[in-house]
A and B are shown apart, each in its own frame.
Chain A
Amino acid sequence: MANATMRRRDFLRAGAAAAALAATPGRGWAQGATPRRGGTLRIVGFEPPTFDIHGSVSFQTQLTSSFVHRTLFKYVNGEKYGASDFTLVPDIARKAVASKDGRTYTITLRKGVRWEKRAPLNGRELVAADVKYTWDRAVKKSAFANLLGSIEAVETPDTHTVRVRLADAYAPFLHNLAEPWNAILPHEVEDKLGDFKASESLVGCGPFVLERYEPGVKAVFARNPDYYEPGRPYLDRVEWLFLKDRGTQLSLFRAGQVDLPYYDGRIPRSEIAAFKKSNPGNPVHFWDWLAVRTLAFRTDKAPFNDVRVRRALSLAVDRKKWVAQYLEGQGYADHGPVPAPMHEWKIGGPDLGSGARWLEYNPALARKLLAEAGFPGGLKVKCTNWPGYGPELVEDLELLAFHLKAIGVELQIVNEEYGNYIRGSFLGKFDEASWGPSSIFTEVDGYLYNFFKSGEPNNRSHVSDNTLDVMLDAQRRYLARSSRKNAIDDIQRYTADQVYYVYTPYPKQVSSWGSRVKNLGMKNSFDKGAQLEVVWLEDAR
């Protein structure tokens, strides 16, 4: 009970502070800089497979729809906030109050939020019934529905209040409302078009409106003149280009034809020096990305059902040298299960207890453990992966193979075609081992529940551990941050000892953008609309 009160208080305090931040001019960008209105930002983006945020888990759909659709809450955005700063601020919602048992949330909507002034919405006000419609639809159709907890009922006591009752307390509930797949949709569009698949369905209430959609070329988003945040967005337009060739993307950026060479400005590590030389005025920024890179293995069968074999593989990786030599210090040695940038949840070193020793580099002990497990001469392991993630990840896997070879483990790399990989290995359907990056999650639960809970599709290592399952369920119920933190610390200690995955070191991402782009902050989120809402162009007139 006390926990629930604290959680609610924590949230309201954060919300109020962030609301104040959002409403105060001059905050959220570098001191002394004055936002300018106007101009067109050109970004290399993606053409989404569908515009239906409930019909796809594609990040491309989330990115593109976020310009137009808005969520109840959003994360803080702008250059002063970290890439993994997920402090919530009100968006369509004004506030949320959680009941003491954490099962009921009463959300008050902002008044005066209007849908676009075009058919079939014609500028009508966004009301509680829209939220109910959206959640009912998400529960029925979205693959992310489990991230809303177990919704028992959604009520609309009045036009601007939504009350949701969960079957069980679910700590990440409010956080997940800020994800772009949770944006609020109007029922009229589905009534008229039958679904949200086509670009015509992109009618919203966000900072931008879809001005033009040219299949295979680009989408152009223009400032929404009726956007409910006064003065925002600063940009007149965003051109979201569907350029696929990486060489072309980088060349256009060098030539100043695009402001960002990728949706998040990412450039290859190997090109940093060249970019600094060819475009010295553009910032080059290192930031923390959240996708962890894992060697997953079939812990449900030999040889990886033996913890000694798993520990041996972990001991073979010289993480410190990896970061120092191969990542030039721009990365993390201990990157999982909770990603290093999630500072408030992450524990490492001695805090991991006995499990910390399996993160050390100790090839002699690794060989001893393998011998004890019945593999004195080492073993061969087939490891699937998708090389299409790019040369940097291919090199990382080769590096891992190199480390493992030193203890007699031969990693036989099997390159898979994307379709087979994403519907197979990515979901744990492989014979022995698989290596690759994870999806990104903005809530720590994503890296724990999805990776370790029995039967979850992202549980690639086929972990089936009753003790761990109980711990994973429990952390979801703790509403007080301190109690939840203790539970998550325990999970990290337990999983470090069991070595269900080998987490390989992880580099920071490096991004660059045109020098005229101001107040752009990198963010581990696909809510591009919210990120660009606070951006302006220095040369705007």
Chain B
Amino acid sequence: MLRYALKRLLLVVPTLLLVTVFVFGIVRAIPGDVVDMMREQFQYGRDAAELRARLGLDRPLVEQYLTWVGGVARGDPGLSLWAKRSTTADIAARFPVTVTLSLLSIAISLAVALPVGIYAAIEQDSLADYLARSAAVGALSIPSFWLGTLIVVVPSFYFNWAPSIGSYVPFREAPLANLAQFVLPALCLGVTQAGVIMRMTRGMMLEVLRQDYVRTAWSKGLASRAVIVRHALRNAMIPIVTVIGGQMPFYFGGSIVMEHIFGLPGMGSFVLEAVNRRDYPVIQAVNLFVVGLVIVSNLLVDLSYGALDPRLRQEA
């Protein structure tokens, strides 16, 4: 297992290096240069060349890239071009919001999708199955931003009520109040993403439930719970876990929209502002961080394969 984990970890290094090249290049491909922005939108500085030199943007791109990567390797992705603040400090302040929202959303997705998917598979072609499948298609069809907007707008229109927004309470000040702020956005995100996981769970469970070893388990007289959870679900989980891993970017991306609607100070609003201002170090740092998170979550998914399927451990 350790060798397997190390092998997976080693593969992360070239991936991350490739990502740094991509992230560094893509922000510079956005139309509009930060120097023009500063001079023309916000009127910083008087001379473009002088400002460019002050920001270190007059150096060759390769040199800029190497400086940045060197900083990243030392844990210092640079300062915001506008605010002159450390991007690490800003990410550290905003990361807990995004990650809490993402994790809660995933938890809600799993809490909804797994039992419903399993039940629908067990009760195949029953009314409950049809209802569950319809609900899954419905959830897939509803964009989370639309659901979020609906939750905020409709009650205010008809009942003059809206969720408490605009007074973010940090976890260290009031843990329960902090978590309460995430319930609605996490529900919106979690429920809409649950459709994919529910359909995959149902499909895999149906396939596994038809396997000989499951039939054997039933014929041995094992309790339903043991057959379904220990024999069927565990074997159905690998593709489901793969889907969850693949969904990670959607959770992070969806969090950005939810933060906007529910006024949460996460990385979403931070990166949007940075893009609008062409604040290269911030965009690079956030992108690299998010990509890093996705890589780590995929790594965890890969590692979980080993835990779920002993054959993979042995192969590794």
Q: Which residues of A contact B (CB under 8 A)?
A: 42, 44, 47, 49-50, 55-58, 142-143, 195, 197-198, 214-218, 239, 241-245, 247-248, 250-252, 254-258, 274, 278-279, 417-420, 422-423, 427, 457
Contact check: which of A57, A215, A257, A419 meets B31 at CB < 8 Å?
A419
In the complex, which residues of chain B have a beta carbon less than 8 angstroms from the beta carbon of A217? 166-168, 263, 265
Complex CA–CA separation, A418 to B41 (angstroms): 10
Chain A's nearest CB lies how many Å from the CB of B131? 31
A257 touching B260, Cβ below 8 Å: no
Complex CA–CA separation, A239 to B41 (angstroms): 27
Complex CA–CA separation, A487 to B250 (angstroms): 61
Q: How many chain-B residues does the 8 Å CB contact rule pick out?
A: 43
B165 touching A254, Cβ below 8 Å: no
In the complex, which residues of chain B have a beta carbon less than 8 angstroms from the beta carbon of A197? 82-84
A215 touching B262, Cβ below 8 Å: no
Complex CA–CA separation, A47 to B274 (angstroms): 13
In the complex, which residues of chain A have a beta carbon less than 8 angstroms from the beta carbon of B277? 49
In the complex, which residues of chain A have a beta carbon less than 8 angstroms from the beta carbon of B82? 49-50, 197
Complex CA–CA separation, A419 to B279 (angstroms): 12
Contact check: which of B37, B160, B276 meets A255 at CB < 8 Å?
B160
Judge whether B202 is part of the interface by a CB distance below 8 angstroms: no
Task: List the 7 closest pairs (A to B, CB-CB), nearest first.
Answer: A216-B265, A143-B43, A419-B32, A255-B162, A251-B156, A254-B156, A423-B40
B162 touching A50, Cβ below 8 Å: no
Complex CA–CA separation, A418 to B277 (angstroms): 10
Complex CA–CA separation, A394 to B276 (angstroms): 21
Chain B's nearest CB lies how many Å from the CB of A45? 10
Contact check: which of B30, B44, B162, B278 meets A254 at CB < 8 Å?
B162
Complex CA–CA separation, A248 to B278 (angstroms): 26
Listed residue (B43, B83, B261) with the most chain A CB atoms within 10 angstroms of its CB: B43
Interface string of B166-205 (1 = CB under 8 A from A): 1110000000000000000000000000000000000000
A423 touching B36, Cβ below 8 Å: yes
Chain A's nearest CB lies how many Å from the CB of B219? 57
- Chain A residue nearest to B80 (CB atoms) is A197
Judge whether B164 is part of the interface by a CB distance below 8 angstroms: yes
- Chain A residue nearest to B266 (CB atoms) is A216
- Chain B residue nearest to A195 (CB atoms) is B84
Judge whether B208 is part of the interface by a CB distance below 8 angstroms: no
Interface residues of B in 81-118 (CB under 8 A from A): 82-85, 90, 93-94
B165 touching A243, Cβ below 8 Å: yes
Q: Knowing A244-B269, A248-B263 are in contact, say whether A279-B166 is a contact too (CB < 8 A).
A: no
Judge whether B152 is part of the interface by a CB distance below 8 angstroms: yes
Interface string of B243-266 (1 = CB under 8 A from A): 000000000000000001111011
Chain B's nearest CB lies how many Å from the CB of A255? 4
Chain A's nearest CB lies how many Å from the CB of B299? 29
Complex CA–CA separation, A418 to B266 (angstroms): 23
A423 touching B41, Cβ below 8 Å: yes
Q: Knowing A218-B167, A257-B166 are in contact, say whether A248-B262 is a contact too (CB < 8 A).
A: yes
Complex CA–CA separation, A50 to B162 (angstroms): 31
- Chain B residue nearest to A44 (CB atoms) is B166
Interface string of B11-41 (1 = CB under 8 A from A): 0000000000000000000111000110011
A241 touching B162, Cβ below 8 Å: no
Complex CA–CA separation, A45 to B260 (angstroms): 14
- Chain B residue nearest to A60 (CB atoms) is B42
Judge whether B270 is part of the interface by a CB distance below 8 angstroms: yes
Q: Knowing A215-B93, A255-B160 are in contact, say whether A247-B44 is a contact too (CB < 8 A).
A: no
- Chain B residue nearest to A194 (CB atoms) is B84
Complex CA–CA separation, A36 to B215 (angstroms): 79
B166 touching A218, Cβ below 8 Å: yes
6 interchain pairs (CB within 8 A)?
A56-B43, A216-B269, A217-B265, A244-B263, A247-B152, A423-B36
- Chain A residue nearest to B154 (CB atoms) is A251
Chain A's nearest CB lies how many Å from the CB of B205? 39
- Chain B residue nearest to A56 (CB atoms) is B42
In the complex, which residues of chain B have a beta carbon less than 8 angstroms from the beta carbon of A255? 155-156, 160-162
A278 touching B31, Cβ below 8 Å: no
In the complex, which residues of chain B have a beta carbon less than 8 angstroms from the beta carbon of A218? 166-167
Complex CA–CA separation, A118 to B276 (angstroms): 35
B165 touching A57, Cβ below 8 Å: no
**5 additional contacts (CB under 8 A) given A49-B277, A58-B41, A248-B162:** A217-B168, A218-B166, A248-B261, A254-B156, A417-B32
Judge whether B149 is part of the interface by a CB distance below 8 angstroms: yes
Complex CA–CA separation, A417 to B277 (angstroms): 12
B83 touching A198, Cβ below 8 Å: yes
Q: Knowing A55-B44, A215-B90, A251-B153 are in contact, say whether A257-B164 is a contact too (CB < 8 A).
A: yes
B157 touching A258, Cβ below 8 Å: no
In the complex, which residues of chain B have a beta carbon less than 8 angstroms from the beta carbon of A57? 41-43
Chain A's nearest CB lies how many Å from the CB of B167? 7
- Chain A residue nearest to B36 (CB atoms) is A423
Contact check: which of B31, B36, B94, B152 meets A216 at CB < 8 Å?
B94
B278 touching A215, Cβ below 8 Å: no
Q: Knowing A214-B265, A420-B31, A423-B37 are in contact, say whether A248-B42 is a contact too (CB < 8 A).
A: no
Listed residue (A58, A143, A417) with the most chain B CB atoms within 10 angstroms of its CB: A143
Complex CA–CA separation, A419 to B32 (angstroms): 6
A419 touching B37, Cβ below 8 Å: yes
- Chain B residue nearest to A140 (CB atoms) is B46
- Chain A residue nearest to B42 (CB atoms) is A56
B42 touching A254, Cβ below 8 Å: no
Complex CA–CA separation, A357 to B29 (angstroms): 48
Q: Knowing A50-B42, A241-B263, A254-B156 are in contact, say whether A248-B83 is a contact too (CB < 8 A).
A: no
A55 touching B42, Cβ below 8 Å: yes
Complex CA–CA separation, A198 to B94 (angstroms): 18
Chain A's nearest CB lies how many Å from the CB of B132? 31
Complex CA–CA separation, A420 to B32 (angstroms): 6
Complex CA–CA separation, A47 to B83 (angstroms): 12
A42 touching B166, Cβ below 8 Å: yes
Contact check: which of A215, A216, A278 meets B160 at CB < 8 Å?
A278
In the complex, which residues of chain A have a beta carbon less than 8 angstroms from the beta carbon of B273? 47, 49
Complex CA–CA separation, A427 to B152 (angstroms): 38
Contact check: which of A245, A251, A427 meets B40 at CB < 8 Å?
A427
Complex CA–CA separation, A326 to B44 (angstroms): 40
A252 touching B43, Cβ below 8 Å: no
In the complex, which residues of chain B have a beta carbon less than 8 angstroms from the beta carbon of A279? 160
Complex CA–CA separation, A534 to B9 (angstroms): 62
Complex CA–CA separation, A247 to B164 (angstroms): 14
Interface residues of B in 261-316 (CB under 8 A from A): 261-263, 265-266, 269-270, 273, 276-278
A252 touching B165, Cβ below 8 Å: yes
Contact check: which of B155, B161, B263, B276 meets A418 at CB < 8 Å?
B276
A214 touching B168, Cβ below 8 Å: yes
Complex CA–CA separation, A57 to B276 (angstroms): 16
B263 touching A245, Cβ below 8 Å: yes
B157 touching A274, Cβ below 8 Å: yes
Chain A's nearest CB lies how many Å from the CB of B39? 8
Q: Knowing A217-B263, A247-B261 are in contact, say whether A252-B42 is a contact too (CB < 8 A).
A: no
Complex CA–CA separation, A287 to B66 (angstroms): 55
A252 touching B32, Cβ below 8 Å: no
Listed residue (A50, A216, A243, A423) with the most chain B CB atoms within 10 angstroms of its CB: A216
B166 touching A258, Cβ below 8 Å: yes
In the complex, which residues of chain A have a beta carbon less than 8 angstroms from the beta carbon of B85? 198
B42 touching A243, Cβ below 8 Å: no
Chain A's nearest CB lies how many Å from the CB of B46? 9
Interface residues of B in 208-249 (CB under 8 A from A): none
Complex CA–CA separation, A242 to B263 (angstroms): 8
- Chain A residue nearest to B150 (CB atoms) is A247
Q: Knowing A423-B32, A423-B36 are in contact, say whether A245-B261 is a contact too (CB < 8 A).
A: yes
Complex CA–CA separation, A254 to B260 (angstroms): 19
